[in-house]
Structure 1
Amino acid sequence: MEMHKKLKFTEKLSYGIADLPEAANSIIAAFLTMFYTDNIGLAAAAVGTMFFISKLFDGISDILAGILIDKTRTKWGKARPWLLWLSVPTGLSIALIFFIPQDGSKTMQMIYAFVTYNLFTSIMFTITGIARSSLLALMTQDFRERGSMASFGMFFGLAGTILGCSLTFPLIFKLGGDIRAWRILFGIYGVIVTAGLLAGFFMSKEYVTSVEATSGEEVQKISFKEGVKLFFTNKYLILALVATVLVNFVTQINSCSQTYFYKYTMGNEMLTTTLNLVSIIPILIGIVLFVGPCMAKFGKKKCMYIGIIGQLIGSLIRGFAGMTQSVPLLIAGTVISGAVTGLLAVPVSTLFADGIDYGEYKTNRRIEGMGSAITSFSQKISSGLAQASIGWILGLTGYISGQAVQSGITNMGIISMYAWMPAALLLAIFIILKFCYKYEDIADEVINTLENRKKQARN
């Protein structure tokens, strides 16, 4: 029954709305470096290093959060309650990042930045993100329903990110353009995130139980050591890990460098608003209209191939647009990349849940929390590396904060971060999937075997 569980529209909707912290995280990643360097006056290289060190702490908290979720037992389930418990603290932590003291020393400002940034990313966003990710494996085992859930998540996550990135500069300027404007706006974003987490809790339900739990016996808690072993002896969880890390790095390096690309390479920072608004329509149309039919007709692997090729072409076009300062080329590359975004990101986001099922098929143990934690840990390391790369590359290429025109070397570094690096990584993802992804060949056997075990356990 769990295998064929059809979810209500409101349950899928709740999964999507609960992705708003991810949108907030992406918006913060897109603007925070510039806020620190241009509004507060911190050195770009120091900010980049702070981001990378923070991600190491963030990764440790991922593992702790995974253990916490796997050990949670409540009437609401093991993952859902964390959306409720941390809804308000998560919203508050977003606002606090931007209350950095203006008149403090650079050392005090860096300490405040480190503490508040990690309060959000290493604690609040980590726990709620792993809880929400675990729900993909806990709400259904039907791969079509998982794909549909992931589409809702991608829709709200990307829509929130794109709208936020598009509206942030105009709203800040409308609110006065000073640091107070940043604080007001990100306080509003915090309220929206809190509402999204509450909706995610109240509108969802966990349906999937393990074979072990179905037997009626007390479920043995999985130790940290055992959880790690179960993860790294599962080839499809390792594949999910590698694929999500690389896709995440592509997304983050592009997103984090876009403000610099539009402002210095293209000479118009308001293109941040224009191009994000241009991209939102093909992205959302692609998610709503293309992903479901593509996965149903061609399967996950070919669907991901189409997404990779489309995004690769879009990245190359945008790179040439930067070299020639051609806005029409930039628009074309943005539209092409946007239209196929979901065809890669949605199926990749379901690989983790498939790996959890495969692990239970092989060992009779499910590790939603630990599996999600290790994947999230590696994703955040890649996000931190992407954010740090912005500061490092800007520093190495001679970026001068506030200077209207940057050097040719700096602009080449910015174009590389925005277009050439994503293109190279997309090619690497294609090669990995081509030679390593074989799960579709055994998916039906895995799920049918698990269902038969549960029937036997009930008898």
Structure 2
Amino acid sequence: MSALTERITNKEKLGFGLGDAASHIVFDSSVAILAYFYTNIYGLSPAVMGTLFLVVRILDAITDPIMGAIADQTKSRWGRFRPWLLIICVPFAVSCVLVYSTPDFGQTAKIVYAVLAYIFMTIMYTAINIPYCSLGAAITADPQDNLSLQSWRFAIAPIGGAMGTALILPLADFIAPGDRATGMQWAMGIFGVIGCLMFLTCFLTTRERITPVKEENMNILRDVRILMKNDQWRILSVYNLAMLCGVVVRGSLLVYFVQYVLHQGSGIISIFMLATTVASVIGSLFAKSLGTWMCKIRASVWVNVLSALVGLLFFVLPTEYWIPAFIVHIALNLLQGINAPLQWSMITDANNYGEWKTQRRITGMNIAANIFVIKLGVAIGGALTGWGLAWFGYQAGVEQQSAEAIRGVLILFTVLPAIFYLITAFSIRYYRLTEDRMNDIIGDLRQSKFQTQS
């Protein structure tokens, strides 16, 4: 059986999914908890926090393509991408602890420490996550098998997301009652160790089957020029940027929404966070069936339109009770659970299309560029969150916020993400890699035929 079409086992899909669960310990906590940690526990102002998120992510403009190029050129008996899971898993765990540490420094020194710790975490995340995400395209090229692989991945990934979101506050309070700063540091240390073990399991249970058509020396500028010829990647960049802005703005503000708009404490916050995980898992299980039934592109359009409309319901719901908002929150995350496997399946398709179009397989650079765009969305979403809170007069570390600040939380939580989801839905309408077209492309690649030869 050809490596391009060899079927993969459920054991390998499970192991691959655990790698993303480890990544989501950092990613989900950065989206949902880190803003709250920096403003309400660490003591940064919202404006400083928002600027921190944006400035540090600028570093990814350098590190992401470099890591993608390094991964593409890696040669080992384990393949190009798997070795990095083994090398970086321990520093990755250490970075989790450092970011959630609160040193006894003056305000200026605390800002400097926050910047350095956040930079270290983003570098470690880049060094392990880009090879991990590239690994999916090296495991299989079959479109349906790849969608199944991504569905498993996003069904398992929320395990890590739950650690970094729903479980961190209860565990912190259990470890250090009355001292949430110390408790969060220890909680992230425990989750970092678990994430390290997940990456090791991913390393041991997966196999790289897809190799480049030809090997060339590392040349980042050449690979970037090749990438820019991929018109479908350019469309996905707009799609990914807008989607992540919406996801991050709403995710970052969830804690603020539950605490200040619904007037609920950490127990209900954790229930909302856990519902995010469970609903995302359930939603991801429907992605393959929905993508097969109505095509991935149409499915993604409708999922994002519905995400915009459902999210706006928060704006009109009564705030005296938290149950109505909780039900809407579940519906919204069911939709987002469907979206993630569709998104990454299309990223893999665009990588195969790029090889077919340019006769050069630059998986690491392709994934690095996509992850950079995703991180840019995270940075912009985080910055808009901090700046928006500052605009509406939110005060860091203050229990009682003004009516204007609470109104601002509600507006930012509902209207702003809806705008980004509609941009996402509009942009993906121009994506052209349908399943039929991808089957033709994979057939050409199997015969070493390319666009100029077809």
TM-score by length of 1: 0.92
How far, CA to CA, are the matches of 1:91 and 1:371 in structure 2?
26
Structure 2 partner of 1:106: 107
Q: Which residue of structure 1 aligns with residue 298 of structure 2?
A: 302
The answer to whether the aligner puts 1:421 opposite 2:422 as a matched pair is no
Q: Give the corresponding residue for 1:216.
A: none
1:454 Cα shift? 7.5
Deviation per CA, 1:129-149, whole angstroms, max 9, x where unpaired?
Answer: 100110121110011111112
Question: Does structure 1 retain, via aligned residues, the 8 Å contact 2:25–2:191?
Answer: no
Aligned to 2:400: 405
Secondary structure of 2:33's counterpart equals helix
Deviation, structure 1 residue 438: 4.5
1:1-52 CA-partner distances (Å, limit 9, x unpaired): 1332211112111111001222322114422222222223222211221121
* Match runs of 1:42-191 below 5 Å: 42-102=44-104, 104-121=105-122, 123-175=123-175, 176-178=177-179, 179-191=181-193
Which residue does the alignment assign to 2:365? 370
Tell me if structure 2 keeps the 8 A contact 1:306–1:344.
Answer: no
Structure 2 counterpart SS, 1:268: coil
| 1:421 Cα deviation from its structure 2 partner | 1.3
- In the alignment, what sits opposite 1:287? 284
Deviating more after overlay: 233-242 vs 277-286: 277-286
Residue 227 (structure 1) aligns with: 223
Q: Write the letter of the residue equivalent to 1:69.
A: A
Q: Structure 2: how far apart are the matches of 1:279 and 1:34?
A: 17
Cα deviation for residue 283 of structure 1 reads 2.7
1:153 alignment partner, SS class: helix
CA contact (8 A) 2:17 2:153 kept: yes
1:385 aligns with 2:348: no
Query: In the aligned structure 2, how far is the partner of 1:332 from the partner of 1:320?
Result: 14
| SS of equivalent to 1:404 | coil
Gaps of 5+ in 1: 213-218
Q: CA deviation at 1:163?
A: 4.8
Q: CA offsets, 1:147-178, max 9 Å, x none?
A: 11211221222232135422222222222231
Distance 1:309 1:286, change over 3 A: same
Distance 2:58 2:252 in 1: 19
Quick check: 1:332 aligned with 2:334? no
1:77-128 per-residue CA deviation (whole Å, 9 max, x = no partner) reads 11110000001111011111223312x111111111111111111x110011
The percent of aligned pairs where both chains have the same amino acid is: 26
Measured after TM superposition, the shift of residue 347 of structure 1 is 0.8
Cα separation, 2, equivalents of 1:437 and 1:363? 17
Aligned-partner Cα distance in 1 for 2:11–2:150: 14
- Number of residue pairs matched? 445
Tell me, in whole angstroms, the C-alpha distance in 1 between the residues paired with 2:69 and 2:320.
Answer: 49
Over 3 Å counting, the alpha-carbon distance change for 1:35 and 1:280 in structure 2 is: closer
SS, match of residue 166 in structure 1 = coil
CA contact (8 A) 1:63 1:373 kept: yes
Kept after mapping to 1: 8 A contact 2:284/2:339: no
Separation in 1, partners of 2:323, 2:248: 24
8 Å contact from structure 2 (residues 85, 203) kept in 1: yes
2:71/2:364 contact within 8 Å kept: yes
| Aligned counterparts of 1:59 and 1:155: Cα–Cα separation in 2 | 29
Shift of 1:327: 2.1
Q: Give distance in 2, aligned partners of 1:276 and 1:144.
A: 31
Bigger drift between 229-238 and 413-422 goes to 413-422
Shift of 1:296: 2.0
Counterparts of 2:36 and 2:91 in 1: how far apart (Å)? 25
CA deviation after TM superposition for structure 1 residue 439, in Å: 4.0
1:303 CA displacement: 2.1
Distance in structure 1 (CA, Å) of the matches to 2:198 and 2:72: 23
Q: More displaced, 79-88 or 169-178?
A: 169-178
Any idea what SS the aligned residue of 2:167 has? helix
Distance 2:108 2:157 in 1: 34
Find the aligned partners of 2:368 and 2:327 in 1 and give their Cα distance.
37
Letter in structure 1 aligned against 2:156: F
The TM-score, its normalising length taken from structure 2, stands at 0.93
Q: In angstroms, what is the RMSD of aligned CA positions? A: 1.9
Greater shift, 440-449 or 47-56, is seen at 440-449
More displaced 10-residue stretch of structure 1: 272-281 or 47-56: 272-281
The 5 Å alignment of 1:410-449 reads 410-449=405-444
Q: Secondary structure at the match of 1:317?
A: helix
Structure 2, unpaired ranges of 5+ = none
Structure 1 residue identity aligned to 2:278: I
Instruction: Give yes or no for contact 1:314–1:332 (8 Å, CA) kept in 2.
Output: no
Q: Distance in 2 between matches of 1:196 and 1:315?
A: 33
C-alpha displacement of 1:384: 1.2
Rate the CA distance shift 1:416–1:287 in 2: closer, same or farther, 3 A. Answer: same
Partner residue in 1 for 2:25: 23
* 1:238-260 deviations in Å (ceiling 9; x for gaps): 12222222222221111111111
